[in-house]
Structure formats: C-alpha cells, structure tokens
Amino acid sequence: MLNFYNLNNHDSDKIASAIKNGKSKQNIFVKYNDPTNEFTSQELKLGFWYLRNKTLLYKILFFSLVGVNIILVGFSIWQWIIYILGWQNAQQVQVELASSVNYTGLHPHYSAQPIQAVNTQIFSGHGDEYDAVAELVNPNSRFLVTFDYYFIVNGTKLPAQKTFLLPGEKRPVAYLGLKDSAGAVPVIALENIEYKRISAHDVPDTTGWQAYRLNFKVSDFVFLKSLAQEGANADAVQFKLTNASPYSYADVNFYMALLQNGQMVGMLPLHLDSLKSLEVKNIDLRNFAAGLEITEIALYPIINLYDSAAYLLPQSY
C-alpha cells in the first residue's frame, strides 16, 4: 500500500494537513500524482468506487442469475405440462411418422401417368394387305416416354416395334402390311415403358418449346384418283411440305393420316433423309387402297426433339 508519509513523498505533509482540516478525500485524490507512475488518479478513483459498491454489484449479479433460472425452469415446467396434456396426440404423431407414406398418391403432379390408347382400327392397304393403326396419347406434360408396342390381330401377336411419345403428344402408331385381316379388331399392347422427366430448368414450357420446333406446314394438297403407277392403279397424294422452324432435321419420319370429311380412312408412311430449316419439299405419294375419296391429310412427325441425333447439326435442347 502507498505510504503517504514516506520520506520520498514530498507532499505527504500537505495531504495530512488537508485531511485534518476536513477536506474531501476525493478532491485530494483528484489532485494526487503517483510518484511511482504505477497507476493514475482516475484508476485510483475507480478502485475506491468498486470497493464501496462491491456488495451491491454482487447482489445485482446474484439476483439476475436467480431471475434467469426462474424463467428457464418455469418455461421448462410449462412445456412439460403441455407435453403431458397432449400425450395421446404425441403418440399418434409417432405412429404416423413410423408408417410408410405413399408419396405417389400425395403428389400425383410429380408422378407419371400411363399412356392412353384412344382408338384402334384396321385400314385397307395394297391388294390383300391391311394396316393396323392405334392413336396413343401421352398425358404427361413433363415426361418423355419410350416403349415397345405390338398389335394382337385375330389372336396373333405381331412383331414388336419401338417408338416414343413427346410430353403431351397425341400420335398414331401403326403396323403396315398385314395379311388377311379384313374385319379384324386389333388390340395394342405396350411393354418396356420408360419415363424420362424433362427438367423445368431446361425446358420451362414443353408445349410451346415442342410446337416451335415441329412447325411443319402442308400446302397445295392435291388428291388424284387412279393414276397408273408401275402397272397398278393407285391414287396420288401430292402436297408441299415446308419446315417453318429454325431447325434442320436428319432422317425424318412422318405418319400421314388420310382423311375423308374429317374421318381417318387410311395411313401412309413418309420418310425424308433430311429436312432443312425453311426448306420446301414437293411430296408425291401413292395410295393403293381402293374406293377412297381423300379430302385432306394430317401429318404426324416422328422426331425425338430431346435427342441430339435428330438434328441435322449438333444440338442440345
């Protein structure tokens, strides 16, 4: 402790005299200068303040901690009361969490729906040949579907063929050149069905995206009856096909439905080695089915837009 009466303290007599005459200790220490330079008068004042209020500070800290503990214990007791009162509900929640959930049923929007067969028909072809045709619908707006299909005609299973349906696409599939199938009712079967989800990040609107790329236009349609073609009588189906899209395609296939007053009465295949953007091709096909009066046609492109190999130039959708 600092000795105010140390001989080295030349102001000790003045301090003692000031205390004796009743001057404030605080005023004395304000004017005090430590000869050892160990601490300042401000630090000395803070030290005296702490000593005078040490008990009060302890009480404040003690009661603050007690108050925090009371709040925490009270909240815990309150939660336990709620849990005990809701015990039966808690047990029910545990049972539900432990049970399996059918997410397909809860989220039908995210699950793939089966392909729908709208209609199956038999059409007359060349001579004694017939064509089995079925109209299929992919009801899924976010799934590309690939599958194998085959027809059963008069109890006979025909060879399977592989194809696909774009998201939301309605398109006919066919087996051409059946023998002795007049009046038969074909049945179509699908197998090896695979669904591929089209990401909304890649294609936000599949309907508009596909329509923009499958923009084919038919013009100058002409149907000519009974033209001689290689020694056989055949009807001519002629028209201009325009690729109005900005994309070029390689190895393009179409099914062309022959319509009579809006009703499908026949089917013809159409294959093109390539079809460039904005290209116009003059199409001339022969139909050997007798007795048809074709008033219009409907063209169904068979192009997998989600396969880069379908494009004449490398593309990524």
Q: Where are the domains of the chain?
A: 112-197, 206-310
If one looks up domain 112-197 in CATH, what number appears? 2.60.40
- Determine the average pLDDT of the residues in 11-17: 52
Q: Do domains 112-197 and 206-310 have the same CATH topology?
A: yes
Helix (H, G, I), strand (E, B) or coil at 118: strand
- Contact indicator for 285, 256 with CB cutoff of 8 Å: yes
CATH of region 206-310, choose from 2.60.40, 3.40.50, 2.40.128, 1.10.20:
2.60.40
pLDDT band with cut points at 50, 70 and 90 for residue 182: low
- Given a cut of 60, whether residue 29 has pLDDT beyond it is no
- Contact indicator for 163, 173 with CB cutoff of 8 Å: yes
The pLDDT assigned to 2 comes to 46
301 closest CA partner among 237, 257, 258: 257
Neighbours of 270 (CB within 10 A): 18
DSSP run (H or E) holding 52: helix 41-85
- CA dist 295 and 35 (Å) reads 121
In this structure, the strands spanning 161-165 and 116-124 are unpaired
Torsion 221-225-229-233 (CA) sign: positive
- Residue partners of 9: CB distance under 8 A and separation at least 6: 3, 35
The pLDDT assigned to 158 comes to 93
pLDDT tens readout for residues 76-89: 898 888 878 877 77
